[in-house]
Amino acid sequence: MPLIWCKLHAEGGFVAQFDLKQLAVDAYLFAYPLVMMDYTKRQMTNVPDAHTTLLRAPLNQFAHARDYPVADSKDVVRFNFDTLYSFAWLDVRAEPVVLSVPDGRGRYYLTPMLDMWTDIFAVPGTRTTQGEARDFLVTGPGWSGEVPDGLDVIAAPTPFVWVMGRTQANGVADFDNVHRVQDEYGIVPLSAWGSDYTPPTEVTTDPSVDDVTPPLEQVNALSGVDFFTLAAELLSANPPHPNDYPILHRMRALGIRPGQPFVAASLGSEEAAAIDAAPRAALADLARMMATASAGIVRNGWNWAQEFGTYGTSYRLRALVAMAGLGANLPEDAIYPNAFVDADGEAFDGSHNYVLHFEADGMPGAHAFWSLTMYDADGFQVPNPLDRFVLRDRDPLTVNPDGSLDIYIQHMSPGADKESNWLPAPQGAFSPMLRLYSPTAATLAGGFVPPAIRKR
């Protein structure tokens, strides 16, 4: 195994060593979210307008999801049925833009803003700005200029920003109300602020962009040389964070420096071998983390994390989230316990009937709301006779006389008297997910742990 040795020549010095192959894996994990965001941005903005393709719009325009996906849709993995999305990619290279968020009128919403490293740096919405209508001037790195009256400045760490708006939706009957809120989201270039601005339509698209293959598949298929060539290019345009110097200094041993192109031909044989092996090794590591639920909190067969949204130097966790759930919220805004085994430690299977029992004093603690959503083994909603993919705390659930709550998780109906609390499951493997929006301080401190799901 190739090693690089560093010797201090002073008396009493030491010898340090590191593994070149491991360094290449570490560098890959560090850059993986940046590359994933770039592929996602290119695909989601390579459209002529904001209406042709679901949740895709040209730069500096909102694309709104106006309803839930149909039962057999596979456009979005682990789609949530609690909110309707409003996505936008901001480009603040040429000038800042004004991002306007609506008056929620008592309806919960949030607009997390991600830099190109997937860190959330602002979240206008119910929790942070009290759900009031506000106008924010989003500026790029190094911008200085006059700020018009009435605008609050949000300084973006990178020149591109992903805004992932979510507006509470209480089922299909509530959609008209949600749409009125969505229509009040807005993006206007600073130079057009105060004018009667209309976003451009029939925007030119790039035929070289693969608009069909999911970004995850495209990124995971890149060779080591192609991956690091693009990563070096993106590093030049997207400033790394101030605490990234240690990994940036280490990456010099692989010929990777911010602001400079990666030249694979200049590598020695050992460096080249490490670069070639990095994607396979790093992706296998991330797959193991997902399969074993080795990241985050593991209790009662549930797995969740409370370190999402901002990652510091936890590059492995950041890469895992970019692979498994790109755009995860801050824990203060939402946590997502995912059930992976039942009370007996066995994987879920539709041949069994299950029950999730909440004691009266053990309900999920959330200031906004909570829900339980059913997904198949691949993370998609499960077609069923009720066309029901989720149970929410604001649904007409039947509560037991003692105030406790039973949710029945099974393939066949539990009977007419229990059907209000039935979350239909597929015949084969499945994975339920809890969502707690705006969890309470007690929840975040460990005061709520989801109970084990038991066979009936």
CATH of domain 47-192: 2.60.40.1610
Task: Considering the chain, tell me which residue range(s) the CATH 2.60.40.1610 domain(s) occupy.
Answer: 47-192
Strand 134-139 with 62-64, pairing: unpaired
DSSP designation for 243: G
What are the average pLDDT values for consecutive 10-residue runs of the chain, which has 456 residues? 44 56 97 98 97 95 92 75 96 98 95 98 97 97 95 98 96 94 98 95 96 94 98 96 96 93 93 97 94 84 91 96 91 95 97 98 96 92 92 96 98 96 96 96 95 97
Task: Considering the chain, tell me which residue range(s) the CATH 1.10.3360.10 domain(s) occupy.
Answer: 20-33+214-292
pLDDT at res. 18: 63
In the CATH hierarchy, which fold is given to the domain comprising 337-455? Jelly Rolls (2.60.120)
In b/e form, how buried is each residue of 245-268, taking b as 16+ CB within 10 angstroms? Answer: eebbeebebbbbeeeeebebeebe
CB-based contact 356:453 (threshold 8 Å): yes
CA distance 308 to 310: 6
Domain 20-33+214-292 - what CATH class? mainly alpha
pLDDT at res. 15: 41
